[in-house]
Structure 1
Amino acid sequence: MVTPKVDHAGTTAAPDKAKSKPTGLQGDRQGVSGKDQELVLGLGHLNNSYNFSFHVVIGSRAEEGQYNLNFHNCDNLVPGREQPFDITVMIREKNPEGYLSAAEIPLFKLYMVMSACFLGAGIFWVSILCKNTYNVFKIHWLMAALTFTKSVSLLFHSINYYFINSQGHPIEGLAVMHYITHLLKGALLFITIALIGSGWAFVKYVLSDKEKKIFGIVIPLQVLANVAYIVMESREEGASDYGIWKEILFLVDLICCGTILFPVVWSIRHLQDASGTDGKVAVNLAKLKLFRHYYVMVICYIYFTRIIAILLRAVVPFQWQWLYQLLVEGSTLAFFVLTGYKFQPARDNPYLQLPQEDEEGMQIEQVMTDSGFREGLSKVNKTASGRELL
């Protein structure tokens, strides 16, 4: 006898709550009495295979909750008589609002709103770069590219959820575009954080061997993490390898988050050592303070998106599990905004103040009085941003 069991919120559904409509040939009901007979499904037999179907109706909000569908083959309960079998399950789940579960219904609007927020932040960031072209570095444009890529990724994610809710399945082309943009977003995010933490383009133009090794570790791990994410998105939770890929994604993500902290720590130590040796105490202390703030920002970002968010999903009711995605995307947007504010292109930003040749860091003007076209011109040494002016 094969008996499926439907659990609601972790408990076995009572016969008067989960109504089943068996079809096919009637199974053997001998030995089953009372209300248990209502849970025994009829079996159909065709070409050495059995089939059955049932219909579960959630009658009230009090009965709503997460459920499990478990299959038990009673013939394999006897030791030494286990036999392999194949099973095919076709499930059609639908809420009045669509095919998404109660926890996923708000995700379409959530991802659309967050996509618009990141797009607005990207446009505002580009406007700042256009107004301060003289103090703009390559990494500033990399930060803009990251923001727009994040916005596009959320847009495809939102559209994908819309079609799942309306049609019951995703559109393959849109799903592929979401995976591509998600992969680019993940790579750009960790590369940008590591470059800012190492001081590249702002303070130095050459990465050390240790910093190059960090990128050699982070980028392949990000590829592996995105492969695990794509596998999880395209598989059901009941798949045999789903749990393995989920553990791989969580572990690799934590390793990447821990690895990108090393360049920030190395920069802090370098500034601490330089504060007492090169005579630029004020400038170095300002940079040191900024690096420490950035280190705290990265720690908070990792803490909220990897730890607090997971705990929130574990403790809130299933109807409110979309708050997990809201916390992740909201924390990411706040991190982007704070990073842009801290490292915006401005002359008075301590991050952009390079070491000067003169002791006071003042501009030295050399008047050139040669005849001809050079008369009246002056040459100015490196400014606070490190460029030469004529």
Structure 2
Amino acid sequence: MAGAHRAGVVAALLLVFLLDGSKARIHKLTLKNETRFFVHLNTFGFYANGTLDVNLHSLRLPQQLVNYSAYPVGFSFSRAHVSGVLSYTAEETESCPLTLTKVTNNEPLILFLIDIGSLSVKVRVLGDQDNVLTGKLKANVQTKEKGQRSSREAPAGTPAKPAEQTKAGDKISEKTAGEAKVQTNAEPVNQMKEDQTAEKTATEFQLASTKQLTLALEKVNDTYAFNFHLLLGLLAEGLYNLNFYYCQNMAPGINRPYSFTLEMTEKNPGGFLSAAEIPLSRLYIGMAGVFFAAAMAWVYTLMKHRYSVFKIHWLMAALAFTKSTSLVFHSINYHFINTEGHPIEGWAVMYYITHLLKGALLFITLALIGTGWAFVKYILSDKEKKIFMIVIPLQCLANVAYIIIESTEEGSSEYPLWKEILFLVDLICCGAILFPVVWSIRHLQEASSTDGKAAMNLEKLKLFRHYYVMIVCYIYFTRIIAILLKVTMPFQWQWCYEFLVEVSTLVFFVMTGYKFRPASNNPYLQLPQDEEDEEMDEIVTESGALEGISKVKKTSNGRERQKEATL
């Protein structure tokens, strides 16, 4: 088991240092030869005056795509009621979301349709909006508007005034003609400068009154780029999804590859954290203090009852201290994400190491208690050893999956895969640690009816059943019920999911420690210490020749045993 711990730590360290990016609110995602028609880029909870900056560059599309009205390409920025769930899911399954022209319940939706043929990005604004969009307006659109204003001021057919007339006979002097020529040649140059300035200057648009506009799409060699800045208003605050769509790949049998690099920054007035994540730094540091206090109380109990302490009691203390340390580093990690937009690598590595150790220690401790190791016996059976051979590697895999998820962008192709692996492996581990408890319960049920000590075994059986129910309740609450509560909460209160998980973990630790605390009157600690004692109990009980013989099993320290015979 120690070797598995070291292997897991080394794997986590190598993984952290080999990963290119890390989970942050300043994102950079690069996709090459991607074939998915839908890429979920990120989910973020915005308060009023929150901002979103998107800079798309190095966009490369296949040449086969020509009909942009039938197969649009672009982004959608939509409100989600819960994390990862769109408000218009029904429409999305039937057709490309970029073709929507109306939304239900006036939910805010902004579509960015990329047209490489006309070098433009058409913005379609749907639903109730009080956001402000800042972007580069397409240059020829501005020039056309200027030309329309000029034609209204000077109708067609009006003769132009001569540059300068002489008093002698309305003849233009050579000097004046030269000046007119310079002025005439300067007009296109000045117009070109105005167009270039228009392309470089970003313009603000109030989306409450602007429902359609066209932004500039820049072309660099064979790639395309554009950017925009979005300021969210008071009415628009909520949880939002930013997605990329390549609708041609929705057709069966079509997998056109495309590539792009996306830089994205999401920010709330208080920092770079999403609305639901802002309280997490304070929550984790507070819970770290609570777990540390519980660990100190447990150590005090062990010192007070040192003659009834087993090795597994100290393992439980190590688990509580590791849990507290992990929460401290988790809090520090979120603090730097909020202030810097990304985690500090050293603190992130420390968090990943303590998180891995905490997960491994938790499942090992639960399985050892379930088998009765140290309390009942010092040697595990072959069947019980197989459980550890399964659970420990799976826990290492689960922690590797968690680190990959934390360290990669949501839009990357491997993100969904590792998320499914983490969920599946976690459920397998939770189910596996129940087997040792079930085996102990079955053993005690059989023993209570055969060995003549029904009262004591029934008491032990009751304790194991309580422990089994505790584990099942803990697993169901943290893996199922808490998640259901999360999806029903408003976006700014979804941090309560983490709070419920940490509180339920604390309650589970405290109840486990109370039931298996070192005390002379604890029925669990009165179990026989090895197979030899069980056989001696049967001999003493069943042999008529030895009737009246009693046995003293151990002294107060549990290490020395002596047998006395009295008539």
What is residue 78 of structure 2 aligned with on the other side?
A: 7
Match among 382, 387, 393 for residue 220 of structure 1: 393
User: Which structure exhibits the higher relative contact order, with contacts defined as CA atoms closer than 8 Å and separated by 6 or more residues?
Assistant: 2
- Identity %, equivalent residues: 63
**Distance change (3 Å), C-alpha of 1:204 and 1:81:** closer
Cα-to-partner distance string for 1:183-209 (whole Å, 9 max, x where unaligned): 111110000000000101001111111
Is residue 288 of structure 1 aligned with residue 461 of structure 2? yes
Rounded to whole Å, the distance in 2 between the matches of 1:41 and 1:289 is 71
What is residue 370 of structure 1 aligned with on the other side?
A: none
> Does structure 1 retain, via aligned residues, the 8 Å contact 2:78–2:240?
yes
What is residue 237 of structure 2 aligned with on the other side?
A: 64
Aligned ranges 1:187-198 → 2 under 5 Å: 187-198=360-371
Aligned ranges 1:1-390 → 2 under 5 Å: 3-9=74-80, 10=87, 11=107, 12-13=109-110, 14=125, 16-23=129-136, 25-26=138-139, 35-38=210-213, 40-60=214-234, 62-73=235-246, 83-355=256-528, 381-383=553-555, 386-388=558-560
> Does structure 2 retain, via aligned residues, the 8 Å contact 1:271–1:285?
yes
What residue ranges of structure 2 are gaps of 5+ in the alignment?
Answer: 1-67, 81-86, 88-106, 111-124, 145-208, 542-547, 563-567
Cα distance, 1:284 vs structure 2: 1.1
Helix, strand or coil for the counterpart of 1:7? strand
**Counterpart AA for 1:174:** W
**Counterpart AA for 1:259:** A
Cα distance, 1:285 vs structure 2: 1.3
Rounded to whole Å, the distance in 2 between the matches of 1:162 and 1:274 is 55
**Distance change (3 Å), C-alpha of 1:78 and 1:302:** closer
> Does structure 1 retain, via aligned residues, the 8 Å contact 2:131–2:236?
no
Cα distance, 1:82 vs structure 2: 7.0
Compare 65-74 and 254-263 and name the one that shifted more: 65-74
Rounded to whole Å, the distance in 1 between the matches of 2:282 and 2:366 is 29
**Distance change (3 Å), C-alpha of 1:254 and 1:80:** closer
Helix, strand or coil for the counterpart of 1:20? strand
> Does structure 2 retain, via aligned residues, the 8 Å contact 1:353–1:386?
no
Q: Which has the larger radius of gyration?
A: 2
Rounded to whole Å, the distance in 2 between the matches of 1:215 and 1:248 is 20
Helix, strand or coil for the counterpart of 1:93? strand
CA RMSD of aligned residues (A): 2.8
> Does structure 1 retain, via aligned residues, the 8 Å contact 2:291–2:323?
yes
**Distance change (3 Å), C-alpha of 1:348 and 1:83:** closer
> Does structure 2 retain, via aligned residues, the 8 Å contact 1:221–1:256?
yes
Runs of 4+ in structure 1 over 6 Å off: 27-30, 74-82, 362-365
Rounded to whole Å, the distance in 1 between the matches of 2:245 and 2:296 is 56
Helix, strand or coil for the counterpart of 1:71? strand
> Does structure 1 retain, via aligned residues, the 8 Å contact 2:307–2:558?
no
Cα distance, 1:343 vs structure 2: 0.2
> Does structure 1 retain, via aligned residues, the 8 Å contact 2:312–2:374?
yes
Helix, strand or coil for the counterpart of 2:133? coil
> Does structure 2 retain, via aligned residues, the 8 Å contact 1:110–1:326?
yes
Rounded to whole Å, the distance in 1 between the matches of 2:488 and 2:141 is 42
Rounded to whole Å, the distance in 1 between the matches of 2:141 and 2:251 is 19
Rounded to whole Å, the distance in 1 between the matches of 2:421 and 2:302 is 39
Rounded to whole Å, the distance in 2 between the matches of 1:27 and 1:168 is 37
Cα-to-partner distance string for 1:38-85 (whole Å, 9 max, x where unaligned): 3x322122232221111111110x311122223345787899997533
What is residue 162 of structure 2 aligned with on the other side?
A: none
> Does structure 2 retain, via aligned residues, the 8 Å contact 1:115–1:155?
yes
> Does structure 1 retain, via aligned residues, the 8 Å contact 2:370–2:440?
yes
**Counterpart AA for 2:134:** K
Compare 6-15 and 133-142 and name the one that shifted more: 6-15
**Distance change (3 Å), C-alpha of 1:305 and 1:27:** farther
**Distance change (3 Å), C-alpha of 1:175 and 1:289:** same
Rounded to whole Å, the distance in 2 between the matches of 1:79 and 1:248 is 27
Cα-to-partner distance string for 1:190-246 (whole Å, 9 max, x where unaligned): 000000001010011111111000001000110110111001000122211111111
> Does structure 1 retain, via aligned residues, the 8 Å contact 2:132–2:233?
no
**Counterpart AA for 2:79:** H
> Does structure 1 retain, via aligned residues, the 8 Å contact 2:288–2:324?
yes
**Counterpart AA for 1:130:** M
Helix, strand or coil for the counterpart of 1:248? helix
Helix, strand or coil for the counterpart of 2:224? strand
**Distance change (3 Å), C-alpha of 1:388 and 1:168:** same
Alignment: residue pair count? 370
More helix by share: 1
> Does structure 2 retain, via aligned residues, the 8 Å contact 1:24–1:44?
no
**Counterpart AA for 2:349:** V
Compare 331-340 and 45-54 and name the one that shifted more: 45-54
Rounded to whole Å, the distance in 2 between the matches of 1:174 and 1:230 is 13
> Does structure 2 retain, via aligned residues, the 8 Å contact 1:27–1:42?
no
> Does structure 2 retain, via aligned residues, the 8 Å contact 1:363–1:382?
no
Helix, strand or coil for the counterpart of 2:446? helix
